[in-house]
Amino acid sequence: MSYTVRPATPADRSGIVALHKAAAVTPGALARTPEEVTPDYGDYALACDICLVAVEADATVVGEIHAKRETVALFAHVLGGLTVAVHPDRQGQGIGSKLFEALIGWARAQEPAILRIELAAGAGNPGAVRLYERLGFQHEGRQVARGRLPDGRFEDDILMGMLL
């Protein structure tokens, strides 16, 4: 089914929350559990400097990406706090790549310039890491035992960055 990528509006809030709840069901994907995806999370995403959605013709949100520009002057060229999710039924169809393409295009057009985009992925999410590598993100380090899974096991975070 076809979809459009566009800036999110407040009308997308419940769609964003529903999408993240659905994507959070897959273990090892998003940091939040489905229960942790609250309506407030939709507000948080909408308040970011960039929040883009992929929507179908009937306005169903099937993908979302958001990120924040750092506010401290030293880091003001950095776009971080990036989260991306595509509905499990629509993964592997290019939607995540299109959302990143639009986000990177937006970042390149910002004044003052954004010169760096950074993100982190769980080491147990190799598919996402592969996508980020393909998009041009470089491996920058590893945070050991950054995450703790419901069964008590620890998981490292892989830090990645892209210079524009």
Ligand X SMILES: CC(C)(COP(=O)(O)OP(=O)(O)OC[C@H]1O[C@@H](n2cnc3c(N)ncnc32)[C@H](O)[C@@H]1OP(=O)(O)O)[C@@H](O)C(=O)NCCC(=O)NCCS
Residues interacting with ligand X, by CB under 6 A? 23, 26, 29-30, 84-86, 91-97, 121, 125, 127-128, 130-131
C-alpha 34, offset from chain centre = 16
Nearer to ligand X, 89 or 111 (CB): 89
As measured in angstroms, the least distance from the Cβ of 73 to ligand X is 28
When CB distances to ligand X are compared, the closest residue is 96
CA distance 84 to 65: 4
Nearer to ligand X, 113 or 149 (CB): 149
Per-residue DSSP letter, 75: G
Nearer to ligand X, 113 or 130 (CB): 130
Nearer to ligand X, 113 or 139 (CB): 139
CA distance 38 to 74: 32
As measured in angstroms, the least distance from the Cβ of 54 to ligand X is 8
As measured in angstroms, the least distance from the Cβ of 111 to ligand X is 28
Per-residue DSSP letter, 70: -
CA distance 85 to 74: 29
- Name the residue among 82, 116, 88, 112 with its Cα closest to residue 100: 82
As measured in angstroms, the least distance from the Cβ of 58 to ligand X is 19
CA distance 68 to 83: 10
